[in-house]
Amino acid sequence: MTDFAREEDFRSWGNVVQAAHAVARPFWRDQLTATVSTGRQQGLALLATGLRRSYGDSVLNPAGGMIDMTGLDRIIAFDPDRRLLRAEAGLPLHTLLDLLVRRGFFPPVTPGTRYVTLGGAVANDVHGKNHHVNGTFGRWVRLLGLLRSNGEELQLSPTEHPDLFAATIGGLGLTGLITWVELELTPIDSASMDVENIPFDGVDGFFALARESEGNFDYTVSWIDCLAAGPSLGRGIFSRANHSESGSPLPDRGNTRFSMPLDAPQFAMNRHTINAFNAAYFRNGKRKSGPARVGIHPFFYPLDSIGRWNRLYGKKGMYQYQSVVPPSVQYDATKEMLAAISASGQGSFLAVLKTFGDELSPGLLSFPMEGTTLALDFPNRGEETLRLMARLDEIVLAAGGRLYPAKDGRMPARLFQAGYPAWQAFSKHVDSGFSSLFWQRVSQM
């Protein structure tokens, strides 16, 4: 439908901001022009949204109009010989996996959840465990359709409207409405992963394993105990993997094993419970270390087995903090951030440490750069949590790093503008008929 209807409880995955939005839900591509026109006639600044797995306010626009693209989820064309797939922007990754894996293909880049749409993957230029090999999602986009607020429909590519293409990759939906995406695929031999899990005792161990692994393994990532201190600061489990050359051609089902029925009590996520969980997880990881063959879903999307896992953080929600710092300072900056988090007693059981390679994205606002990225969730404890993240901001700013807009809900404008020096060049391509809470906050001079 092209009409915008008020929805009272519209939120992102972090659950910190819960606000009413005017929402339109089209189901066909030929409705999109009318939907955009209706929104503009009503004086609404627009923003497209998918499955809303972004944590903060980059997918929120309460003063404007939201266009929910999840009804546009169809395959347009699939060419296995050329390894190309074209689909509508609302197609979710979990549906795409069902099509691709059994036919011997895989997305060249996948984030840590399969509940993301193609349009969302482009708009956030998502990355995965193989950044050092394949870079970001945007490097594999060959064509895309973009509808501007003036009704103009464009086909973008690295050679067609290249400047607007660069702004749209990682452009957070601000350059217009992404209508369809053509993606180059990666061939695979099976639906299995050959994985090796290795415990390490601290930050030194992580960097040694990262250096050792990147030449021989396509996928690397580590879970860390963010509350460990002293000589155990940054201890964790390092995982490295490749697609298996043998194994089942059919993907595992990836079913949700359990779903949170309601928000957990706020007191449940505290230093003691997190500390106990992390210690047990580390011990269990050491016990199960070594090589193993696993399915695609448990390796790439372990959290998807818990439905509505964001409810674990209670009614006040959570902030995710994901930073990247450059190689020249990655060791010291990472240790400094982990020490600040450990000392604060505010941490989570979802803490990830990984290195990025030097593969450049075409996107002007793409988050990954060569260096080390740290990502973790903080239960929303108000000013206490905001003070900790402000302290982390200073470390990232001094290191010449930046934060990930898809995970952010409170980044100060000065940190955004310092971390993304191309932001003013990008702003020239922002469609005046599109906006978001995030952009209103970080684009202020």
Structure tokens at 295: 């399915």
Report which secondary-structure segment, H or E, holds 85: strand 84-88
pTM of the full predicted structure?
0.95
Nearest alpha carbon to residue 84 among 103, 70, 112, 111: 103
C-alpha 324, offset from chain centre: 13
Q: Where in the chain is the domain with CATH 3.40.462.10?
A: 192-244+264-294+312-408
Q: Where in the chain is the domain with CATH 3.30.465.10?
A: 75-188
pLDDT (0 to 100) of residue 445: 67
DSSP notation for 247-305: S-SSPP-----EE--SPPPGGGSSHHHHHHHHHHHHHHHHHT-EEEEEEHHHHH-GGGG
Strand order of the β-sheet with 177-184 is 75-79, 84-88, 177-184, 141-147, 153-156
Reported CATH class of domain 192-244+264-294+312-408: alpha beta
Strand order of the β-sheet with 318-325 is 290-295, 192-200, 236-243, 219-224, 351-356, 371-379, 318-325, 402-403
Structure tokens at 343: 């000392």
8-state DSSP, 434: B
8-state DSSP, 404: -
Backbone torsions φ then ψ of 180, nearest 5 degrees: -150, 160
Q: Which CATH architecture has domain 75-188?
A: 2-Layer Sandwich (3.30)
Structure tokens at 247: 């194994």
C-alpha 423, offset from chain centre: 20
Backbone torsions φ then ψ of 313, nearest 5 degrees: -90, 5
Residue 100 to residue 102: CA distance in whole angstroms: 6
- List, in sequence order, every residue forming a beta bridge with 306; answer none if it has no partner: 258
Q: What are the residue ranges in the chain where pLDDT is below 50?
A: none
Structure tokens at 284: 């269990």
Residue 425 to residue 318: CA distance in whole angstroms: 32
pLDDT (0 to 100) of residue 258: 72
Long-range contacts of 158-167 (CB under 8 A, 24+ apart): 158/362, 163/429, 164/429, 165/362, 166/362, 166/363, 166/364, 167/363, 167/364, 167/365, 167/426, 167/429, 167/430
